[in-house]
Amino acid sequence: MDLAYFATGYDVQLPEWISDELAGVPDIIPDVAERMALVHRLADRNWREGNGGPFAALVAETETGRIVSVGVNVVLGSGVSSAHAEVTALGTAQRRAGSWDLGGDDQPEHELVVNWRPCVQCYGATMWSGVRSLVVAGSGPELEEITTFDEGPMVTDWAEQFEARGIRVTQDVLRDEALAVFRAYRAAVDAAEVTVYNARAGD
């Protein structure tokens, strides 16, 4: 085999507009609803910019609310199907922290904030990341119903599974605002203005 045939790595980069979006944002956001509001702003801009789906996340230090990283879904921008918002937020947080384990003894406690319950892939990615807390805007079937994305075969006791592994789950933080982002995205899908990259489920 010729190694030149194979890729030996891949890049997952956050889009350049992220730095504009973060320019006026304080380093520390003590209120969790305000952290979620930032996630919603990033999610809404993300699909409008064409980077990927209407999804964003951030990692914060739980105690202080210091923002460690942000992530958006860059599946379309990167050409990598696993580049979901949780994965990019956790990966950049781990790069920033200098560790694959955000729950290590030398680390402050970390929290992942996402604009909906993780999909089946990000369920695992979150579990292995070392975060001690997961905050989601919502967790019902509305995401799939509105956006048509397939979130995979999630277990029904996903929140209990997190809790059993020492990861606290907080739900329904700015839920209506999450649905507003998804509905705006859906309107653009119906108008054939954006690509849904994983709508393989159903017909």
Interface residue list for Zn ion (CB under 5 A): 84, 119, 121-122
- Identify which of residues 109 and 150 has a Cβ nearer to Zn ion in the complex: 150
Cβ at position 143, least distance to Zn ion in Å: 11
Cβ at position 4, least distance to Zn ion in Å: 32
Cβ at position 173, least distance to Zn ion in Å: 18
Angle between helices 120-127 and 85-97 (to 10 degrees): 20
Distance between CA atoms of residues 50 and 123, nearest Å: 24
Kindly give, in sequence order, each residue whose CB lies less than 8 Å from that of residue 118, ignoring residues fewer than 6 positions away. 86, 125, 126, 134, 136, 158
- Identify which of residues 29 and 70 has a Cβ nearer to Zn ion in the complex: 70
- Identify which of residues 30 and 124 has a Cβ nearer to Zn ion in the complex: 124
Phi first, then psi: give them for residue 126, nearest 5 degrees: -70, -45
CB atoms within 10 A of CB 1: 5
Distance between CA atoms of residues 120 and 32, nearest Å: 24
Cβ at position 110, least distance to Zn ion in Å: 18
Cβ at position 84, least distance to Zn ion in Å: 3
Give CA torsion, residues 160, 164, 165, 168, to 10 deg. 60
- Identify which of residues 84 and 175 has a Cβ nearer to Zn ion in the complex: 84
- Identify which of residues 64 and 81 has a Cβ nearer to Zn ion in the complex: 81
Half-sphere exposure of 70 (CA within 13 A, CB side): 29
